[in-house]
């Protein structure tokens, strides 16, 4: 199964923090039967293992969850007041299509309402709305109908504008952060399962990254890796933004982290990713510090410490309904990670 087909499968599930069941099942459906060991930890992160009894133990990580919202109140007229789950930008909400998830596997459509300018207060129409002024309309006209549909306080949801190809080499979806990373791990795992490496490999699909790296913290403690690599999506260049504020550029290959808001990567691991890029024959770039943070921030401080690196896929408009990547970068990131795994055993115990 090729990488784009895997990505198509993985961007469809709705999986805000705490409700990653659909995305986890999609990964299991794609690769679970190839694993030597399958673990779902107490917080819900999924671990697919090859050679689990071998050493060293290498952990690859990508997160299942995506930014979204949670129902805070149901009004008498059936409208829903909501709060953020993760770093969802409320500027994007008015006029957006949403998917509510009362229960895993159950999806209900809705729209984010917007006060028409005809009746908006003077001076308010051009301002970003605070969360308390945002509401979701499901087309159900009273609270009783909303409750009958299964929508309750605490029901989560996501913004959605579909997914697919854009232009010659573009691909858009609401949740490329980090289903693109998940797709890379699944594709790599399926290939390695045909001829497993001589070391233990754990592909960890974390929950709750968007609300504080919580799933990765617990998963890393349980996996107890000797070495780890996070495969993420990062902020790509945005038209109209000054170049100094572009952490990474689309079309220039995977972005290698030296330092971000949660980790300073050991220098030898930075160099190992660059060496892997050369071995794979792909372009790569260094991500501008200190923007962002990833599961590496939790993994590298687990137990007595885990040497951890980060490679990211440049992605425009993350945390929105229409994040966009370059398919050449997707393929190059997958190739770099595969080449890095060939170097991984020699990096254990020598990552300073």
Q: Looking at the domain that runs over 3-65+174-347, which CATH code has it been given? A: 3.40.630.10
Report the SS3 class of residue 328. Answer: helix
Q: What is the pLDDT of residue 124?
A: 60
Superfamily of domain 68-159: Peptidase M42, domain 2 (2.40.30.40)
What would the mean pLDDT of 53-60 be, rounded to a whole number? 97
pLDDT at 352 over 50: no
- Half-sphere exposure of residue 92, counting CA atoms within 13 Å on the CB side? 21
* Element at 138 (helix H, strand E): none
* Element at 304 (helix H, strand E): none
Residue 49 token pair: 């293992």
Q: What percent of the chain has pLDDT over 70?
A: 95
pTM of the model: 0.94
pLDDT at 142 over 50: yes
Residues 81-118 have pLDDT tens digits of 999 999 988 788 888 899 999 988 899 999 998 776 65
- Domain ranges for the chain: 3-65+174-347, 68-159
Cα 94 from chain centre: 23
Residue 46 token pair: 């999924």
Residue 28 token pair: 């299991």
Are the CB atoms for 112 and 94 separated by under 8 Å?
yes
Nearest CA among 3, 34, 2, 69 for reference residue 329: 3
Residues 220-264 have pLDDT tens digits of 999 999 999 999 999 999 888 998 889 999 999 999 999 999 999
Q: What is the pLDDT of residue 215?
A: 96
Residues 267-302 have pLDDT tens digits of 999 999 999 999 999 999 999 999 899 999 999 999
pLDDT at 351 over 50: no
Asked whether the CA dihedral 61, 265, 3, 164 is positive or negative, the reply is positive
CA distance 136 to 272: 47
One-character DSSP codes across 239-295: TTS-GGG-SS-TTS-PEEPSB-SS-B--HHHHHHHHHHHHHHT---EEPPTT----T
CA distance 227 to 209: 19
Q: What is the pLDDT of residue 122?
A: 64
CA distance 135 to 271: 48
């Amino acid at each position: 199964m090729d990488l784009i087909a895997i990505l198509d499968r993985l961007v469809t599930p709705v999986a805000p923090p705490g409700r990653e069941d659909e995305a986890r099942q999609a990964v299991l459906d794609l690769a679970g039967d190839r694993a030597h060991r399958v673990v779902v930890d107490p917080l819900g992160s999924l671990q697919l293992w090859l050679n689990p009894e071998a050493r060293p133990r290498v952990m690859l990580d990508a997160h299942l969850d995506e930014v979204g919202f949670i129902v805070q109140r149901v009004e008498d007229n059936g409208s829903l007041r909501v709060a953020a789950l993760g770093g969802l930008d409320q500027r994007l909400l008015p006029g957006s299509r949403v998917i509510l998830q009362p229960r895993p596997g159950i999806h209900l459509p809705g729209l984010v309402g917007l006060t028409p300018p005809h009746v908006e207060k003077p001076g308010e129409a051009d301002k970003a709305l605070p969360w308390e002024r945002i509401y979701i309309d499901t087309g159900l006209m009273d609270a009783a109908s909303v409750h009958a549909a299964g929508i309750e306080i605490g029901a989560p949801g996501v913004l959605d504008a579909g997914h697919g190809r854009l232009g010659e080499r573009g691909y858009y979806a609401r949740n490329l952060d980090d289903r693109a990373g998940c797709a890379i791990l699944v594709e790599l795992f399926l290939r390695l399962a045909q001829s497993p490496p001589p070391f233990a490999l754990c592909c960890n699909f974390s929950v709750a990254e968007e609300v504080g790296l919580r799933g990765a913290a617990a998963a890393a403690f349980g996996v107890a890796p000797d070495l780890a690599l996070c495969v993420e999506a990062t902020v790509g260049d945005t038209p109209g933004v000054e170049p100094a504020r572009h952490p990474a550029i689309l079309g220039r290959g995977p972005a290698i982290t030296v330092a971000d808001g949660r980790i300073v990567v050991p220098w030898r691991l930075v160099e190992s990713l660059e060496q892997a890029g050369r071995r794979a024959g792909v372009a790569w770039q260094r991500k501008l510090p200190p923007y962002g943070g990833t599961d590496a921030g939790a993994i590298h401080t687990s137990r007595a410490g885990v040497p951890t690196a980060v490679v990211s896929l440049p992605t425009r408009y993350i945390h929105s309904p229409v994040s966009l990547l370059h398919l050449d970068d997707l393929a190059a990131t997958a190739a770099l990670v595969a080449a890095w795994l060939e170097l991984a055993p020699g990096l254990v115990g020598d990552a300073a």
